[in-house]
């Protein structure tokens, strides 16, 4: 069975641009969460979606947005990129509303 | 507040036991987790413990929970070079919609 897949794996953007990151959860998982991991730190919670509804949002500015589609895949959008947005963006899926998360390999974003 | 704290580094010799410690703040957490991250990869769930348990053993892994002190530990028996990675302690926040991670403990295993 396929695990959580994320795309793209690596990308480079310049300040002010926007980015869209994509995630496909494990088949049967209805919840998708997004985390930002800055080098040397633990993942920081950005969003959780369950059954296409936003269930939680972390302490991130409105430049960050996300959505979940009917097939439970998800997109994370970041507008007006800043240098500090450079990080590994991790998507995780779970069967329900629990912390038993299954992570993808991440999308590494570099903002120049 | 939300905070999970871990020591940043641990170095052990191959074959020894490793003990990684963690403290957390949310006393109402129902689940506590240990995740492993290898270089360039996402996180992998290693094990978890319910808050009404004191100990859980899973092959070479032993998790100890002290709810009074809000202290969680992960013991890896017979540590191997393949265990070298970053280990994250995590708690599920009240409401269940987010998981709070520590900064991670980098485990170095010397042959």
Which chain B residues are within 8 Å of A99, Cβ to Cβ? 31, 33, 48, 90-92, 96, 99
- Give yes or no for B83 touching A (CB within 8 A): no
Three-state SS string over chain A comes to CCCCEEECCEEEECCCCCEEEEEECCCCCCEEEEEEECCCCCCEEEEEEECCEEEEECCCCCCEEEEECCCCCEEEEECCCCHHHCEEEEEEEECCCCCCCEECCCEEEEEC
CA distance B79 to chain A (A): 23
CA distance B17 to chain A (A): 24
pLDDT tens, position by position, B38-69: 988 889 999 999 888 899 999 999 999 999 99
Burial bucket for residue A96 (CB in 10 Å: 0-12, 13-18, 19+): exposed
Distance CA B5, CA A79 (A): 31
pLDDT score recorded for residue B27: 72
Whether B92 and A98 lie within 8 Å, measured CB to CB: yes
Q: Classify A89 in phi/psi space as left (phi over 0), alpha (psi -120 to 50) or beta.
A: beta
Who among A42, A44, A97 is closest to B96 (CB)?
A97
Residue in chain A lying closest to B101 (CA): A42
CA distance B4 to chain A (A): 10
Average pLDDT, chain A: 94
Whether A99 and B33 lie within 8 Å, measured CB to CB: yes
Q: Which pLDDT band holds residue B95 (cuts at 50, 70, 90)?
A: low
pLDDT tens, position by position, A41-73: 999 999 999 989 998 899 999 999 999 999 999
Q: Which pLDDT band holds residue B2 (cuts at 50, 70, 90)?
A: low
Which chain A residues are within 8 Å of B9, Cβ to Cβ? none
Whether A33 and B101 lie within 8 Å, measured CB to CB: no
pLDDT score recorded for residue B13: 97
- Give yes or no for B39 touching A (CB within 8 A): no
Whether B104 and A106 lie within 8 Å, measured CB to CB: no
């Amino acid at each position: 069975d396929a695990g959580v897949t994320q795309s793209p794996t690596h990308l480079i953007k310049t300040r002010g641009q926007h980015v869209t990151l994509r995630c496909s959860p494990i088949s049967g998982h209805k919840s998708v969460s997004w985390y930002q991991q800055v080098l040397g730190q633990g993942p920081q919670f950005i969003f959780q979606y369950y059954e296409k509804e936003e269930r939680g949002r972390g302490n991130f500015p409105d430049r960050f947005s996300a959505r979940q589609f009917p097939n439970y895949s998800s997109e994370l959008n970041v507008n007006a990129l800043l240098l500090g947005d450079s990080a590994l963006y991790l998507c995780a899926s779970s069967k329900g509303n629990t912390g038993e998360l299954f992570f993808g390999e991440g999308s590494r974003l570099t903002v120049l | 507040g939300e905070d999970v704290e871990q020591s940043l580094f641990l170095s052990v010799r191959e074959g020894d036991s490793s003990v990684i410690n963690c403290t957390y703040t949310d006393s109402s957490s129902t689940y506590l987790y240990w995740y492993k991250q290898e270089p360039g990869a996402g996180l992998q769930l290693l094990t978890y413990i319910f808050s009404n348990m004191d100990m859980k053993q899973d092959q070479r892994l032993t998790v100890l929970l002290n709810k009074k002190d809000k202290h969680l530990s992960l013991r890896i028996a017979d540590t191997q070079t393949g265990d070298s990675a970053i280990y994250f302690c995590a708690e599920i926040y009240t409401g269940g919609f987010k998981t709070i991670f520590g900064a991670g403990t980098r485990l170095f295993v010397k042959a």
